Chain A
Amino acid sequence: MFVGDYMTRHPLTVTPDTSIVEVQGMMAENNIRHVPVVEKGKRLVGLVTRQNLRLSPIELSSLNVWEITRLLSGLKVKDVMVRGKDVITARPDTPIEEAARILVTHRIGCLPVLEEGILVGIITESDLLTQLTNLLGLQVPGWRATIRVPDRAGEFAKITAAVASKGWGIDAAGSLPTPRKPGYWDVVIKISAATRDELVAVLQQIEGQELIDIRATGP
């Protein structure tokens, strides 16, 4: 689970001399919000986001339509981009949770992924959220069961043992401390091999655990 596995390879890029109008067109047409700026050899020199392209209201109010058009048509990427060292980046071997932390702490939407200064991909909020859905098995049809377990060693093993004893497989699993109820964890597992009733029967058998929700999810 590293950035290199989930990033988008071959991201759309622009050069510092590309005009702002062209970048705006590119973003709108392809429905993207971030474009890395590279120079020869795919070396990263900056990043343009939709924010960069927005003019401040104060500036806008002082100009008429013609002046805005002229201002925009003369502007180049290098005039508005976030420059070199200010761009926060990741490496292909950065763990994805680390990438998520960086995005959240810096309140940014994407990380260009570099390998020795060369742009190899880009990872965005959407990519990470997509992986969250994969983590909890949204991409496969099946039963999503939420089980509340006490916070002690061996509880997760009970679940896997119970499932394995029936010969089913766990398609996805995830766990978080139960909100507002210290001492408990909520475990979500995804199972596609069983029917609802079979699954409920097995999970309710487990001692000390509580099945709090079961529902069908899938694409």
Chain B
Amino acid sequence: MATVEQTLLRAIARRPSRWRRLWEGVSIILRSRTALVGLAIVGFWFLVAIFAPFLTPYGPFDQDYKWQNAPPSAAHPLGTDHLGRDIWTRLIYGARLVLIMLPINESLWLPGGIALWGVFLALVAGSVLGLLGGYLGGWIDEVVMRLLDAMMAFPVILLYMIIIAAIGPSALNIVLAIAIVGTPGIARLVRSLTLDIRTRDYIRAAEIRGESVWYIMFHEILPNARGPLIVDAMLRVGYAIFAMGTLGFLGLGLPPPSPDWGSMVAKGRQYIMAGSPWAALWPSVAIASLVVGLNLFADGLREELARYR
């Protein structure tokens, strides 16, 4: 009997606090106008990416030779490119690559876009390295940090180009490049957070319990670095999208005919002087709006978190 009662009690006791925490998180976002605007922009791109096939009658590779470099019209709301492909269609299928699907090969794809996967892998690698360096200190810290410093000494674009040039352009390789380039920054952030958190008494308590290094790093320290990490990761998704655009523009992005925003800008650029700026303009706007949206969201979130710290 007692156990039934206690189970009930547990359920009752647990519920309000869970919901309250969730609600608190949501209400923080709702309170910041900056975050709300950012969320709206990012949300828009996610929605169009998910529902892309229902938002356009065309496919991303459908060519219409009658409509080359056409301005916006009823049939093609954003116009067409030099091969007569609908730009709106290519944009929203491009958003899928960035945000919701990662093509491995012709038939297989993983949920989560290239930018998201890249940042996620950077987050994993950076967190491990940062935790190791920050918590263990000593020579491990020295080695890890000097290596990452060396990587950070390269200009980001150069680093991307070296990596892609070395392993060749493909969706998976771009993910890898984003992860490699993002790791040092995240590692530094995690390390500095760790240096702070590891002085807390609850870490002492865990050490006194004789907990393993891994338990302390991932169960005691990492959850407390969550807030700043989420904000940082969001900013990094923005950078990653930018990097994808840059790589595409330089011809190191996804191989054509993929609806890669960067390569769309690169191709479209040739026709700007010819009187049809649409093919270059819309993908640029797409990149810019998504990056700005993510930045606004992250900034708003950071401000609100700091205000009530």
Q: Is A–B contact present in the complex under a CB 8 A cutoff?
A: no
